Amino acid sequence: MSNIVAIVGRPNVGKSTLFNRLLERREAIVDSTAGVTRDRHYGKSDWNGVDFTVIDTGGYDVGTDDIFEEEIRKQVQLAVDEATSIIFMMNVEEGLTDTDQEIYRLLRRSNKPIYIVINKVDSSKEELPATEFYQLGIDKYYTLSSATGSGTGDLLDDIVRDF
């Protein structure tokens, strides 16, 4: 069985930046099949010699959260259905939002492994503000800078180990 990792989260948290980083020079595939409301991007990646597929769920990323709440809900459901592992991304810049809480509520219904990622932790000074995300009632999150790649190794070590 192939391993499929979906990156979900509200607009602007940095999903596509991480997706592109994971793909590096590999080519992304745009799935425009009928029934898919917005383009979803698939790509191949590997870590420590383990191959996996990555899905970037954010083709709809425009404007504000509330207009796209329903769209986000659909995308989250599609990702949960299709993925074997889920990266749930938020960011320290904007902090924990109501939409984040709603997405997490939806994700928790699945039995799939969820990796909670706080993005835009570009330096150690963002580590302390990131602790606000414990309000979700979680034991662990990964801090990441998708822009620089820092933190991605620890995250991928754990994802690949759990396949």
Residue ranges that bind Mg ion, judged by CB under 5 A: 15-16, 58, 61
Stretch that binds ligand GDP, among 6-14, 35-43, 70-78, 126-134 (CB under 6 A): 6-14
Tokens, residue 18: 């991480």
Report the alpha-carbon distance of residue 71 to residue 99 in Å, rounded. 12
Residue 121 marked as a ligand binder: yes
For 3, phi then psi, to 5°, come to -95, 130
Find residue 38's DSSP bridge partners.
none
8 Å CB contact between 153 and 116: no
Identity of the residue, 11 or 113, whose beta carbon is nearer to ligand GDP in the bound complex: 11
Position among 5, 6, 8, 15 found at the interface with ligand GDP (CB under 6 A): 15
Residue 13 marked as a ligand binder: yes
For 20, phi then psi, to 5°, come to -65, -35
- Under the binding rule (CB under 6 A), the answer on residue 59 touching ligand GDP is no
**Hunting for tokens 């509200």 — which residue is that?**
10
Site for ligand GDP, rule CB under 6 A = 9, 11-17, 58, 61, 119-120, 122, 145-147
Give binding residues for GTP as ranges: 9-16, 56-60, 119-122
